[in-house]
Amino acid sequence: MVKIKENAITASEFISIWNAVEWGGDLGIERIEMALKNSICTFGIYIDETIIGMGRLLGDGAMSFYLKDFAILPEFQKNGYGTELLIYILKYIKTKTLYGGSLELISSKGREEFYQKFGFEIRPSEYDGAGMFLHIPAENND
């Protein structure tokens, strides 16, 4: 039985999915616990009690939202689970905003078409500039 749970993802589940989709990097359990705690909401999609995918929602909780770490385990991809999870997240956002808002994300390379089916536009577009990204390394604490 497929079930979506809010704010139930553990740091170890998060790291397991992160590694399975080969996003790379050493995350550190404390860092992930803090990230999960500081998210507006986390979403896990489970078959029985086994997590098969996740998404993390960031933002101001009223008009601007950002979808981060949206992934489905490779062996469960292309079976509708990502669609089910994204529809759930979109409905969640609609219940939280009075006048509408925006949801932004950075797609994994080659996955843009999945999000376009839901109305996401690729940037740059006729009206918007390019989406941008900056990695900020930690300061050296010597």
Write down all domains in the chain, each with its CATH number in brackets: 2-116 (3.40.630.30)
Confidence of residue 1 (pLDDT cuts 50, 70, 90): very high
Q: Extract the tokens encoding 36.
A: 């999960």
Q: Extract the tokens encoding 85.
A: 């999870």
Residue among 81, 137, 142 at smallest CA distance from 114: 81
Please state, as a whole number, how many other Cβ atoms lie within 10 Å of the Cβ of residue 117.
9
Of 7-11, 55-59, 101-105, 125-129, minimum mean pLDDT range:
125-129
Question: pLDDT digit string (tens) for 51-100?
Answer: 999 999 999 998 899 999 999 999 999 999 999 999 999 999 998 888 88
What's the predicted TM-score (pTM) here? Answer: 0.91
